[in-house]
Amino acid sequence: MKSFQLREAIVDLLVRIEQDSGYSHLLIDHEIRTRDISPKDEALMTEIVYGTIQHKLTIDYYLESFVDRKKKLKLWVRMLLRMSLYQMQFLDKVPDHAIIHEAVEIAKHRGHKGIASLVNGVLRSVQRKGVPDTAKIKDDTKRLAIETSHPEWLVKRWKNMYGFQLTRSMCYANLERKPLSVRVQPLKISREAIMEELAELGFETRKSDFSEQGVIVDEGNILHTRLFEEGYVTIQDQSSMLVTEMLNADSGMTVLDACSAPGGKVTHTAEKMRDEGTIVAYDLHAKKAKQIQKKADQLDLTIINAKAADARELQELHDKETFDRILIDAPCSGFGVIRGKPDIKYNKQEEDIEHLAKIQAEILNSVAPLLKKDGLLIYSTCTVDKMENEDLVKRFLANNPEFQVDNTFFEELPDKVQTSPGVSEIGLQLFPHSFSTDGFFLTRLKRV
């Protein structure tokens, strides 16, 4: 694909992502799968699209100084300017004059001379004058929000919950690339054999400390290798693997996963149980329940029975005290996975967090009675927010004295995590800057 065509396709994709917010990763995947794109163009497209979204608010702050506020830009023109500015400010692959030339050509092709001249004028001014200095913003919170492209309300909220320094580290970490981590299917192959094969193929890998099945791939795309295609490994963040490790499910147990799609943790659980026992896996959406079954089949796992149901109504389907282990990996605001899904930070409002916390509490309250005495229940989310995590669990424990945090949980955490700032008497909050994992909360409750 010619460079001009690739850049124009990126503008189209950015427009679609802006209109259909919340699904950047799916839209990018779809674009790459349906177009005939070389691996080199695929990498460049991914880098520019993710980078432009990741730095959107910073770029818009820069643009404000160069675009007349009264001028209402068409969406595609704004995306063209954002994409070009991203390349000029954050990448050093292409010289500025070439980026500007290409942007002007795209503007001519899609619009008319007037738009081309506006695009040329804005980008040449940026090139000549440089972007405004954010160090001049007096308010710390506002400056951090603009420099790291997070909404100001979210930075304020985190600052109130976790303090400024931690929030700062988290916001900067959210701009970085996370190493890929994969889970080995231990019933088919060992971790050592996988690492050897990947080394032969030229990939650099490390063992994860979070799970004996985890491997971190520092460089390279393993999605097109046979190991992935034949179900020897599956992509999973280390924090998610830790959830299943902490569930401690064993062969022969009866396990419930109340919110299980797309099936990462439930398939890991089946592997830990050596595919012996019973797992019932629910998700609200029938289509997603099918996804779980497909994932289980890909990994040759047979004990998972995936169905659609609302987790808040499972008492109608199961008797109390039925399960040895329960996992509630609740629907959440997703602020822990901003690195992989950058548009999450722009699409949520504070009211959404309150709404989600209400659903999470309803799920926990209605699912917990299904746990057997001495059984273990994991509550987890892929977010960083006390309302959805510690505060919610604290309230549950206050209202349900037959449950308590299982104190052996903390001893079982990886050594380096045991003393991390995210550990409290309620559970573990992993921050994205601490161990290069997703931001994740988990706790283990025991029915006593």
Judged by the rule CB under 6 A, the positions of this chain that interact with ligand SAM are: 240, 259-265, 282-285, 288, 310-312, 329, 331, 363, 382
Which residue, 73 or 309, is less far from ligand SAM as judged by CB?
309
| Least spacing, CB of residue 12 vs ligand SAM, in Å | 29
79 is written with which tokens?
């995306």
Helix/strand/coil percent split, the chain, to 5: 55, 15, 30
In angstroms, give the least distance from the CB of 158 to ligand SAM: 20
- CB closer to ligand SAM out of 283 and 343: 283
Q: How far apart are CA 96 and CA 92, in angstroms?
A: 9
Chain-centre distance of CA 184, in angstroms?
20
Nearest distance from residue 240's CB to ligand SAM, in Å?
6
Q: Which is nearer to ligand SAM, 362 or 412 (CB)?
A: 362
**The residue type at 277:** G
331 prior amide bond cis, ω within 30: no
Question: Which is closer to ligand SAM, CB of 203 or CB of 431?
Answer: 431
CB of 234 to ligand SAM, least distance (A): 10
CA dist 318 and 427 (Å) reads: 28
Q: Name the residues annotated as catalytic.
A: 382
Amino acid type, 97: H
Q: How far apart are CA 202 and CA 199, in angstroms?
A: 5
Give the type of residue at 45: M
DSSP strand pairing (423-424 vs 403-405): unpaired
**Residues of each annotated binding site for S-adenosyl-L-methionine:** 259-265, 283, 310, 329
CB crowding 410-434: b at 16 or more within 10 Å, else e: beebeeebeeeebbbebbbbbbbbb
Residue pointed to by tokens 């991390």:
420
441 in helix, strand or coil?
strand
- Dist CA 309 CA 9 (whole Å): 39
CA distances from 169 to 50, 175, 349 (A): 20, 10, 22
DSSP string, 136-200: G---HHHHHHHHTT--HHHHHHHHHHH-HHHHHHHHHHTTSPPPEEEEE-TTT--HHHHHHHHHH
Q: Is the Cβ of residue 97 or residue 358 nearer to ligand SAM in the bound state?
A: 358
Task: Give me 319's structure tokens.
Answer: 């008797």
Cβ burial of 138 (10 Å; 0-12, 13-18, 19+) is: exposed
Nearest of 26, 21, 95 to residue 56 by alpha carbon:
21
- Residue (87 or 429) nearer to ligand SAM, CB: 429
Q: What span, in angstroms and rounded, lies between the C-alpha atoms of 60 and 66?
A: 10
Taking the least distance from each CB to ligand SAM, the nearer of 82 and 348 is 348
Cβ neighbours of 9 (radius 10 Å) = 17
Shortest Cβ 263–ligand SAM spacing (Å): 5
Binding residues, by number, are 259-265, 283, 310, 329
| Least distance in angstroms from the C-beta of 213 to ligand SAM | 14
Residue among 123 and 392 whose Cβ is closer to ligand SAM: 392
CA-based angle 10:229:225, to the nearest 5? 70
Q: How far is the CB of 262 from ligand SAM (least distance, A)?
A: 5
Q: Which helix (H) or strand (E) holds 224?
A: none
CB of 359 to ligand SAM, least distance (A): 6
Do the Cβ atoms of 59 and 115 come closer than 8 Å? Answer: no
